[in-house]
Every structure is written in structure tokens, then in C-alpha cells.
Amino acid sequence: MPEESATPKALRPPKFEWEDLALYKAERRFLDGYPADYRTFFAPRDSIHPMLASLLSSAQRSIVMNMFGYDDDELDEIIRHKLSEEHVYVQMSLDSRQAAGKHAKEILARWSNDEFGNSIAIGTSSVHHAISHLKVLIVDGVYTVTGSTNWSISGESEQDNQLTIDRNAVIAAETRTILDLNHDWMLKQMAEKREKEAKKTAKGKG
């Protein structure tokens, strides 16, 4: 009898294969004539969570995201494993209101933002401090995931949501620029907040 792997099951999803993505569709197929570089899924009909787990596990160089709702423990575990064990660069930009939720705070508490190879920014949109409502993931500068799906059990398997993945590197490059700009803005917000808190603390001691 083969030995059971010591790696948690969550970290061993099926291998990501573009030609096999129909397995995550309810009908187990895409319509004839579907664009070669695009695949779209719908929750709760299709199996969005296992597809995302497979994609994240395929990452070899980078995982970059701008996520409104970040409440999926299993996907978070895969990303942290990629960072710590496989040295994959991770960049996350999260909406400050959503990240302040109880479960999201518990997930983020597992991260060490000061460690080499990851950057986590929490903030708002650059206009009127509105919410950062994107649900976008880029893997290895090739695969781009967009749509309405928040990373949560309800978002992936209960609510009516849409998720599209494409493998066009030009789309990934354009999208990465937007995500980097958002990330930079959020980092500046965090720095400003820390500076204000430091001044307030110093004033209190004076």
C-alpha cells in the first residue's frame, strides 16, 4: 500500500490543465466555438473553488491579486504554501472594509508581511476612498481571473457569480499595471496611517 502523503489535501488539488477546464463546468463541456483563450464559469452552477485551487497550485513565479472579499481558508493556505515552500512572489491588495471582518482578520493574522517575497496592502480606491471592488487574480503573468466572485464559500458556491479566466499575456500585463497602481496607493495609505498613529502616540507621551 502506498504511503499517504504528509501534504495536506488542500495543497494537492488536481493538476491545472487548460484543456481539462471543462471538468469544472456543470455540463462538463464548453459550447462549440468557445474562444480559445477564454473560459467562463458561473456560481453556484459550476465548480469554481476547485478550479481556483488547481490554478493557484500551478503557480511557479508569482501570484498577484486585488480582492474585495478574501475569506477562503483553503485558497489562502495554498498561497501561503507557495510563498514559504516554493518561493513564489505574492502580492495582495485588499479592501480595508472587507479586510476588517472577523474571518478575514483571522486569515490575515497568519501572514508575515515583513518576510521576503510578499507584499500585502489594505486600503481603498484612489477616488474618494471608495471601496476597492476588484476580484482579480494574475498567476505567473499569464493567467488572469476576473469577474464578480469573492473568495468565500458563499461567493464561490452559493451566490450568483461569474468568473472568467484567460491565458493572454497581453491582458495579464495590462491588468498587472492596474493592480500595481492600486497596490502602491494602498501602501501609501498604510504609511500615512502609521505616521498619524505615531504622532498621536508621541503627543500622548509628551
pLDDT at 201 over 80: no
Whether 7 maps to a domain, the answer reads no
Closest among 160, 8, 10 to 75, alpha carbons compared: 10
Percent of the chain with pLDDT over 70: 94
Whether 2 maps to a domain, the answer reads no
The pLDDT assigned to 102 comes to: 82
Question: d(Cα 65, Cα 62) in Å, to the nearest integer?
Answer: 10
- For 37-65, how does the pLDDT look when each residue is reduced to its tens digit (9 = 90+)? 999 999 999 999 999 999 999 999 999 99
pTM for this entry:
0.89
pLDDT at 4 over 80: no
pLDDT at 30 over 60: yes
Question: d(Cα 182, Cα 159) in Å, to the nearest integer?
Answer: 27
Whether 66 maps to a domain, the answer reads yes
Residue 64, domain CATH: 3.30.870.10
DSSP labels, 49-94: HHHHHHHHHT-SSEEEEEES-B--HHHHHHHHHHHHHH--EEEEEE
The pLDDT assigned to 134 comes to: 96
Position with higher pLDDT, 24 vs 197 = 24
The tally of domains found in the chain comes to 1
Whether 153 maps to a domain, the answer reads yes
pLDDT at 35 over 70: yes
Mean pLDDT (whole number) for 27-37: 97
- For 106-145, how does the pLDDT look when each residue is reduced to its tens digit (9 = 90+)? 888 888 777 788 999 999 998 888 999 999 999 999 999 9
The pLDDT assigned to 6 comes to: 47
Whether 88 maps to a domain, the answer reads yes
**Which residue range(s) make up the domain with 42?**
13-205
Q: Which pairs with CB-CB distance under 8 Å and at least 24 residues apart come from 77-85? A: 77/8, 77/10, 77/11, 78/10, 78/11, 78/13, 78/53, 80/110, 80/111, 81/11, 82/56, 82/57, 83/115, 83/117, 83/118
Whether 32 maps to a domain, the answer reads yes
